[in-house]
Structure 1
Amino acid sequence: MDKRGRRRTLSEQAILDAALGLLAERGADAVTVRGIAARVGVAPNAVYTYFPDKAAVVRGLAEHLLGRVDHDRFADASQPWRDRVRALALELRAELLAHPGSVHLMLGHPPDGPHTQAVRETLLAVLVDAGLGPSDAAEASYLVNVHILGAVAFEAAAPPEDSDVAAGRFRWGLDRLLDGLAARVATGGAEPAAGNAP
């Protein structure tokens, strides 16, 4: 029998699905071009037709995951900014935790595609709505992303624990971060006086 008859049709989506499967079953280290090729039943050079290297596959994978986040629903400026940041952070956490190895891959190959940019721009817009200037909003956006990625990375690497405990820790940290941003907004972005510094 001609083995080619059993070969799956190759596409970008088939490659990303294979990468997600490897990630779920064997972890981030298994997501290689050779591993993906073996999973879809093609030679590695067939994968390179769609993605030039592993970094491109990882960026495509991040785009696939972030594309599931409905960032438009956080753009309603009539809603409190804290609620919008919290909801976006919780949705991003849930999406990343559904694929635990994804954060490890993304930290090694930072994504930069349109879905990534859309999520970043949404968060920036919400922080500007909160009353932060462009520079402060950019720094605050970075801080929120560090909290999300760092918390998910630690949770994915740690021994399994009660999911409610992990979620509670995440929310506690996020709320303290938002408290700090709210204080920054309340002072109009002014630095504290030297005598009041901790």
Structure 2
Amino acid sequence: MDKRGRRRTLSEHVILDAALALLAEGGADAVTVRGIAARVGVAPNAVYTYFPDKAAVVRGLAEHLLGRVNHDRFTDPSQPWRDRVRALALELRAELLAHPGSVHLMLGHPPDGPHTRAVRETLLATLADAGLGPADAADASYLVNVHILGSVAFEVAAPPGGPDVGTTRFRWGLDRLLDGLAAHVATGPPR
């Protein structure tokens, strides 16, 4: 130990945990490089050693949240595709709702790391199991993601005592979306 005191050991994980705590305490606007640095007790430029800019921190945080979703639980082809899509969508939604500011971060800085790709590939494979071709599966995946992100954004923004935008409505909308996909598969060849 030198005269300056104990050295702190930083890592991407420590920085992302600090960002997650700031998100929980103050929403998306609270996630700043200065705030993260203060939280972990370093100068702001130390954060830049691990992330080149705030956008990279935010993408890393979104990726960190998606890493909490165990996508392997939704890959069993012996389970009906609808059940797998529904379970994955509900778990993603629950993770985002547990961190209310996260949806705005994801919309502003879409994540692109390995957890994002794993969730995307799981959803695409499940939609292929439904009988959708690659182009239709990509479009369907987009719709499912818009439904998840949109429902979370509305729920987070709803004033207390406002209209119910909770899980019941989310499930209803998701089931109608899945009904439409099933009807689409039944009407023609996959594209």
Percent of aligned pairs with the same amino acid:
88
CA shift for structure 1 position 39: 1.2
Alignment of 1:1-198 (within 5 A): 4-5=4-5, 8-160=8-160, 166-189=166-189
**Contact 2:127-2:137 at 8 Å conserved across structures:** yes
Equivalent residues, number: 189
Alpha-carbon contact 2:103-2:149 (below 8 Å) kept: yes
Secondary structure of the residue aligned to 1:111 is: coil
What's the offset of the Cα at 1:34? 1.0
Any stretches of 5+ residues in structure 2 without a counterpart?
Answer: none
Would you say the 8 A contact 1:15–1:40 is kept in 2? yes
Q: How far 1:6 sits from its partner (Å)? A: 6.5
Tell me the distance in 1 between the aligned counterparts of 2:137 and 2:49.
39
**Change over 3 Å in CA distance of 1:185–1:161 after alignment to 2:** farther
Shift of 1:8: 4.3
CA distance in 2, matches of 1:115, 1:157: 27
Return 5+ residue gaps in structure 1 as ranges: 191-198
User: TM-score, length-normalised on structure 1?
Assistant: 0.89
TM-score, normalised to structure 2's length?
0.93
**Mapped partners of 2:111, 2:129: distance in 1:** 25
- Aligned with 2:68: secondary structure? coil
Cα distance, 1:93 vs structure 2: 0.4
Contact 2:151 2:165 in 1 (8 A): no
RMSD of aligned alpha carbons: 2.0
Runs of 4+, deviation exceeding 4 Å: none
Tell me if the contact between 2:154 and 2:165 (Cα under 8 Å) persists in the aligned partners: no
